Amino acid sequence: MHQPVLLGPSVENWLTDPHGCYIDCTVGGGGHTKALLEKLSQDAQVLAIDRDKDTLDNTRRQLTDNRVRFIEGDFRDLSVLLDEEGIKQADGIMIDLGVSSFQLDQAERGFSFHEDARLDMRMDRSEPISAWDVVNQYDPADIADILFRYGEEKYARSIAAAIVRQRIIKPIDTTLQLVEIIQGAVPAKYRREKHPARKTFQALRIEVNRELEAIEEVMPQAVEVLRPSGHLCIISFHSLEDRIVKTFMQKESKECVCPPGLPVCICKHQPRLRIIARKPIIADEEECEANPRARSAKLRVAARI
């Protein structure tokens, strides 16, 4: 079972009108949507999007509520998906980034460094590039760059070099083969701290699913479809994601985006968002104890002006 993070504050901020139309861009196991439905009237509706077909099929079977429409798709295509559904305005949009426990628990998907499986990590299995392609075919410098940028992995270069040494001998097909290579490429002290493959797996997942680009692309579309006073809620799980969300919300809430030093404003920028909480909402100790994923979760909320 996926345990939704920051459930109370998420629903509190997502809900602006019990009769409204809501979009869950990352329905996953449906935890946030289910909690929202409990607060909505019978005439409300929720559009539940996920790019992972298995996840969507599973949640569709469990969450039978005629106010919900399930849509298989990538949230980076939000405007097109909403057009196809005839939705012109939304009262609230939720984006809960990352992978779900359901995906991690499906060993064969290759997301977990604890389970042996073919290197895959695609959320949408119709996409052409999997983790296998990145590890076995990418240029060595690009692998190091991906591990450094998306995993903030300080041993990115030595892990990339070890990958390349190994793949010359034979392809690296499985998650545990990769874990072994990582373990051999980092100092013993590092191996004793957190799991040494954690950052590499995060980086590969971000690359395979183009996760950061997707966040950049969805946010302007979400603002466009929100009705005035509707809320955009985004939960991120690491600093790379949170930085993108924070920068976007700050820029969209500014009166002026002129370069510093200009004597008068020439940009005529119109703010489209009002930030609801200056600091991100984080989980309390009790939630972090019960759900370790919550430790790194940050919820940012902004209202459409």
Ligand X SMILES: C[S@@+](CC[C@H](N)C(=O)[O-])C[C@H]1O[C@@H](n2cnc3c(N)ncnc32)[C@H](O)[C@@H]1O
- Interface with ligand X includes 92 (CB under 6 A)? no
**Smallest distance from the beta carbon of 126 to ligand X, in angstroms?**
13
For the record, the structure tokens of 137 come out as 């075919």
Q: Which is nearer to ligand X, 2 or 156 (CB)?
A: 2
- Binding residues among 210-269 for ligand X as defined by CB under 6 A: 214
Q: Which is nearer to ligand X, 31 or 151 (CB)?
A: 31
**Smallest distance from the beta carbon of 271 to ligand X, in angstroms?**
26
The DSSP call for residue 121 is: -
Cβ contact 55:103 at 8 Å: yes
Among 13, 45, 55, 58, binds ligand X (CB under 6 A): 55
- Interface with ligand X includes 122 (CB under 6 A)? no
Query: Which region among 46-54, 138-146, 191-199, 272-280 touches ligand X (by CB under 6 A)?
Result: 46-54
Q: How many residues bind ligand X (CB under 6 A)?
A: 22
Angle at 26 between CA 11 and CA 301, to 5 degrees: 45
Q: What residue ranges in 14-160 does DSSP mark as E strands?
A: 21-24, 45-50, 68-72, 90-96
**Would you put residue 250 in left (φ > 0), alpha (ψ -120 to 50) or beta?**
alpha
Among 75, 113, 150, 155, binds ligand X (CB under 6 A): 75
Q: Do strands 298-304 and 226-236 pair parallel, antiparallel, or not at all (unpaired)? A: antiparallel
**Smallest distance from the beta carbon of 5 to ligand X, in angstroms?**
8
**Smallest distance from the beta carbon of 99 to ligand X, in angstroms?**
6
- Interface with ligand X includes 130 (CB under 6 A)? no
Cβ contact 10:32 at 8 Å: yes
User: Which residue in this structure is represented by tokens 């009002």?
Assistant: 274
Q: Taking the alpha carbons of 154, 158, 162, 168 in that order, is the dihedral positive or negative?
A: positive
**Smallest distance from the beta carbon of 76 to ligand X, in angstroms?**
6
- Interface with ligand X includes 291 (CB under 6 A)? no
Q: How far apart are CA 139 and CA 131, in angstroms?
A: 14
Q: Which is nearer to ligand X, 62 or 137 (CB)?
A: 62
- Interface with ligand X includes 50 (CB under 6 A)? yes
Among 32, 109, 298, 304, binds ligand X (CB under 6 A): 32
What is the phi/psi pair of residue 65, to 5°? Answer: -150, 125
Q: Which is nearer to ligand X, 100 or 200 (CB)?
A: 100
CB-based burial of residue 85 (10 Å sphere; 0-12 exposed, 13-18 middle, 19+ buried)? Answer: middle
- Interface with ligand X includes 298 (CB under 6 A)? no
Binding residues for ligand X, rule: CB under 6 A, are 2, 4, 26, 28-32, 49-52, 55, 74-76, 96, 98-100, 123, 214
